[in-house]
């Protein structure tokens, strides 16, 4: 086991698909970006090889390309605007933090997704996903993928997940900022983009609070928290399936021991939440019980919870989950 010092809190992390470098994004102005060489995992300790003092309220990161390039999503401290910039790792390691390309981003950019095979990058903003082509050592604007689709409109995304083959991505749309609408009445939708055709599909889930879902080439796993009962959803992401782009199961979840207060915002400190994970083959899903130290295990073939795992941590706020399998490569290289 090895460790490297990075900026704190490190709210975003990404790895190169070749597993050569990792990069973290932090709101620490002295360590906004930290680059770690992963080729020395056998060492007892290793150094963080470069820091970029780039002020940002909550920076997003991705890394890819040959030679490796960091894609840094900057957001202004007032969350009003931002930009996407490309930073070659070789330059950062030589203390050169000058971007090789920059793209302005509007209105609260937050939530990134990257396709390494297609060399695409998108960041969620208030009006949709602002996208870029990854070209050479830089990037170029590609346009906007709107949230409005399939006859549904409103809301926005803050989170996205790429498919295992890099040809599609999923997201979650929520009207969390609807005026005077309490969170139990917020509408949640699954959002699916075929990255080649840029065809968008949007499908309703249920009412309540939801955030961090997970995705595979077979299913995306969502959840909602609601005073009348919590639910997990299996959304079919397999183009070869007869139920492609449909919600194929709604699975009841035991309520949290300390559920969200309907009279408070889910964003308030101390509120409990959930986190999901799904195996790359889509066979098993996992949903955490924030504050309870429990994880519900979902058999996606039986489409029901088959077990609850007790873990030695309360999983405050939902914790963080990832599901891996031997000999199965993870398509997702961005963590939040």
Residue finishing a domain among 98, 122, 145: 145
pLDDT score recorded for residue 48: 47
What is the residue-averaged pLDDT of the chain?
89
Least confident piece of the model among 9-13, 38-42, 252-256:
38-42
Instruction: Give the model confidence (pLDDT) of 20-74 as tens digits.
Output: 898 888 777 667 778 888 887 533 333 444 445 555 667 889 999 999 999 998 8
Q: How many domains does the chain have?
A: 2
Residues 198 and 124 in one domain: no
Residues 83 and 160 in one domain: no
Instruction: Give the model confidence (pLDDT) of 257-309 as tens digits.
Output: 999 998 888 888 888 999 999 999 999 999 999 999 999 999 999 999 999 99
Residues 109 and 162 in one domain: no
Query: Which residues span the domain enclosing 85?
Result: 1-145
Residues 159 and 47 in one domain: no
Percent of the chain clearing pLDDT 70 (strictly above): 93
Percent of the chain clearing pLDDT 90 (strictly above): 65
The CATH number given to whatever domain includes residue 133 is: 2.130.10.10
Question: What does each C-alpha distance from 23 to 5, 100, 119, 125, 218 come to in angstroms?
Answer: 11, 18, 18, 22, 29
For 237-314, list the strands marked E by DSSP.
247-253, 276-278, 284-289, 294-299, 304-310
Q: In what order do the strands lie in the sheet with 168-174?
A: 160-162, 168-174, 187-194, 199-207
Instruction: Give the model confidence (pLDDT) of 64-117 as tens digits.
Output: 999 999 999 888 777 778 899 999 999 888 878 889 999 999 888 889 999 999
Question: What does each C-alpha distance from 80 to 36, 59, 109, 166 come to in angstroms?
Answer: 30, 14, 8, 30
Residues 141 and 151 in one domain: no
Instruction: Give the model confidence (pLDDT) of 219-243 as tens digits.
Output: 999 999 999 999 999 999 999 999 9
22: enclosing H helix or E strand:
strand 21-26
Closest CA relative to residue 250, chosen from 171, 186, 303: 303
The pTM for the full model equals 0.93
Is the backbone peptide bond immediately before 250 cis, with ω within 30 degrees of 0? no
pLDDT score recorded for residue 129: 97
Return the DSSP state at 255: P
Closest CA relative to residue 223, chosen from 259, 182, 277, 264: 277
Residues 79 and 184 in one domain: no
Residues 114 and 70 in one domain: yes
Residues 155 and 186 in one domain: yes
pLDDT score recorded for residue 42: 39
């Amino acid at each position: 086991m090895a460790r490297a010092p990075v900026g704190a809190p490190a709210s975003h992390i990404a790895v190169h698909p070749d597993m050569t470098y990792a990069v973290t994004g932090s709101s620490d102005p002295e360590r906004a970006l930290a680059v770690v060489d992963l080729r020395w995992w056998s060492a007892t300790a290793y150094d963080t090889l470069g820091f970029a003092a780039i002020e940002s309220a909550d920076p997003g990161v991705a890394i890819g390309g040959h030679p490796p390039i960091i894609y840094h999503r900057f957001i202004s401290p007032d969350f009003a605007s931002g930009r996407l910039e490309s930073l070659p790792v070789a330059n950062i390691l030589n203390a050169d933090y000058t971007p090789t390309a920059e793209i302005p981003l509007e209105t609260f950019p937050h939530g990134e997704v990257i396709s390494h095979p297609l060399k695409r990058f998108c960041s969620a903003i208030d009006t949709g996903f602002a996208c870029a082509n990854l070209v050479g050592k830089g990037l170029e604007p590609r346009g906007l993928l709107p949230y409005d689709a399939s006859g549904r409109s409103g809301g926005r995304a803050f989170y996205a997940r790429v498919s295992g083959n890099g040809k599609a991505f999923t997201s979650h749309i929520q009207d969390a900022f609807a005026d005077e609408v309490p969170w139990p009445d917020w509408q949640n939708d699954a959002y699916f983009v075929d990255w080649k055709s840029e065809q968008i599909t949007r499908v309703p889930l249920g009412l309540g609070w939801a955030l961090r879902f997970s995705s595979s080439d077979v299913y995306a796993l969502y959840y909602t928290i609601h005073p009348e009962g919590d639910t997990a959803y299996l959304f079919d992401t397999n183009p070869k399936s007869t139920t492609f782009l449909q919600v194929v199961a709604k699975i009841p979840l035991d309520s949290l021991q300390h559920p969200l207060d309907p009279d408070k915002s889910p964003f308030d400190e101390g509120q409990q939440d959930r986190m999901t994970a799904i195996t790359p083959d889509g066979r098993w899903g996992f949903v955490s019980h924030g504050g309870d130290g429990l994880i519900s295990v979902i058999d996606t073939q039986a489409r029901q919870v088959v077990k609850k795992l007790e873990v030695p941590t309360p999983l405050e706020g939902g914790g963080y989950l990832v599901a891996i399998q031997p000999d199965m490569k993870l398509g997702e290289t961005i963590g939040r």
